[in-house]
Structure formats: structure tokens, C-alpha cells
């Protein structure tokens, strides 16, 4: 079916596609499992995207996890490994913070603030970048793909947003539970 006719048939206003910055593409002919959720639900993508999703997940790190293994930046540089480290930096041990917050307990032990991972990487002799504008990503990715080597890219994210797994584990905060009593 033609694109505009398909949108009409599905009841999707054509302006919505542009407003959400979506690019129309051909319907997939083949799908692969990219990830199986905690609920057993399989998330399907076209095979190349499923592979990229799995690779992307294995290379992403939390800021706390990187700090626990930060000395490996030296190993990565010395062995000239080809690794891009993408830090999802919420300035905290988020896994602990969200549990403490949900139980209404003091959070300060789990929050350490936003470390300057770009400077830390440079201290180990690797290129480091604090990515502040997502529009820079295509250029950065193209440069990295062309040059290879290793780099640390630091993305600041909010510690107020929970991952789906954490949301499922703590559907209601202690404060909300108390308010209901």
C-alpha cells in the first residue's frame, strides 16, 4: 500500500511522522530477536539492527561501573584496543539510588555527582568527550568509525528517570504507599 494511504488506513495523521522526526522506510521482510524482556516478551528488529542493538548494549556502561573498573582504560590504551565506551552518566549508583528512593531512605550514599569522564580518559591518554548535543553524534560516530582506536563518550542523563526494569521492580514509591494508608 502506498505510504500516505497506509497512514490514513491506520488513522495516523501524516503530520505526526514529521513531528516525531520519523523517517518512513520499507516494511521489514525478515526479523530477528534483539532482546527478550524480563516478561519473556521478544523484541524484534531487522537483523542488522538487532545485531547493532546487542553490540551497543554490551559496550554501554554506567558511570558507577566505569569508576569501579577505571584502571582498565590504561590497559585499553596500552593494548591499542578498539573500544568505544559510552557512559550513561546519572551521577549516581542508580541501581541503588532508585531502591533507596522507593523505600524513602536517605539517598546520599548512592550519589557522587557528575565525574568528568572526558578529562579522566584524557588523563589515561585516550580521547574523551562530554556529548552535550545529540546532533553531534553522526559526525562523532563517523570519525570514530574512520579512525578506530578507543574513546570515552560521556552522556549526562537524569537520575530522576527509571529504567523499565527498575520501574517494574518499584512500581510505587514508599511516599505514595504511605499517602494511600
Q: Tell me the number of residues near ligand TPP by CB under 6 A.
A: 12
Q: 41: which DSSP letter?
A: P
Q: Is 162 in the site for Mg ion (CB under 5 A)?
A: no
Least gap, CB of 63 to Mg ion (angstroms): 4
**CA distances from residue 33 to 25, 52, 57, 131, 166 in whole angstroms, order as listed:** 20, 12, 14, 30, 22
List, as one string, the DSSP characters of 97-137: HHHHHHTT---GGGB-----HHHHHHHTTS-EEE---GGGH
Least gap, CB of 127 to ligand TPP (angstroms): 21
Among ligand TPP, Mg ion, none, residue 128 binds (CB under 5-8 Å by kind): none
Q: Where does this chain touch Mg ion (CB under 5 A) — which range of 6-14, 91-99, 145-153, 162-170?
A: 91-99
Distance separating alpha carbons of residues 113 and 156, to the nearest angstrom:
11
Least gap, CB of 162 to Mg ion (angstroms): 12
Q: Is 90 in the site for ligand TPP (CB under 6 A)?
A: yes
Q: Residue 148: CB partners within 8 Å, gap ≥ 6?
A: 82
Distance separating alpha carbons of residues 136 and 89, to the nearest angstrom:
18
Q: Is 63 in the site for Mg ion (CB under 5 A)?
A: yes
Q: Where does this chain touch ligand TPP (CB under 6 A) — which range of 47-55, 56-64, 73-81, 116-124?
A: 56-64
Among ligand TPP, Mg ion, none, residue 174 binds (CB under 5-8 Å by kind): none
Query: Which one of 44, 47, 54, 65 is in contact with ligand TPP (CB under 6 A)?
Result: 65
Three-state SS for 33? strand
The footprint of Mg ion (CB under 5 A) covers: 62-64, 90, 94
Amino acid at each position: 500500500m502506498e505510504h500516505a494511504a497506509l497512514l490514513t488506513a491506520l488513522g495516523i495523521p501524516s503530520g505526526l511522522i514529521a513531528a516525531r522526526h520519523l523517517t518512513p522506510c520499507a516494511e521489514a521482510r525478515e526479523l530477528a530477536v534483539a532482546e527478550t524482556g524480563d516478561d519473556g516478551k521478544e523484541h524484534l528488529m531487522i537483523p542488522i539492527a538487532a545485531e547493532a542493538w546487542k553490540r551497543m548494549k554490551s559496550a554501554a556502561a554506567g558511570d558507577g561501573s566505569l569508576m569501579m573498573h577505571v584502571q582498565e582504560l590504561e590497559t585499553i590504551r596500552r593494548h591499542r584496543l578498539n573500544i568505544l565506551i559510552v557512559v550513561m552518566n546519572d551521577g549516581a549508583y542508580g541501581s541503588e539510588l532508585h531502591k533507596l528512593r522507593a523505600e524513602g531512605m536517605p539517598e546520599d550514599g548512592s550519589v557522587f555527582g557528575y565525574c568528568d569522564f572526558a578529562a579522566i580518559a584524557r588523563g589515561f591518554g585516550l580521547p574523551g568527550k562530554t556529548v552535550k548535543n545529540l546532533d553531534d553524534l553522526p559526525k562523532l560516530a563517523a570519525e570514530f568509525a574512520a579512525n578506530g582506536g578507543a574513546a570515552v563518550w560521556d552522556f549526562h542523563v537524569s537520575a530522576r528517570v527509571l529504567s523499565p526494569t527498575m520501574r517494574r521492580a518499584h512500581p510505587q514509591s514508599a511516599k505514595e504507599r504511605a499517602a494511600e494508608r
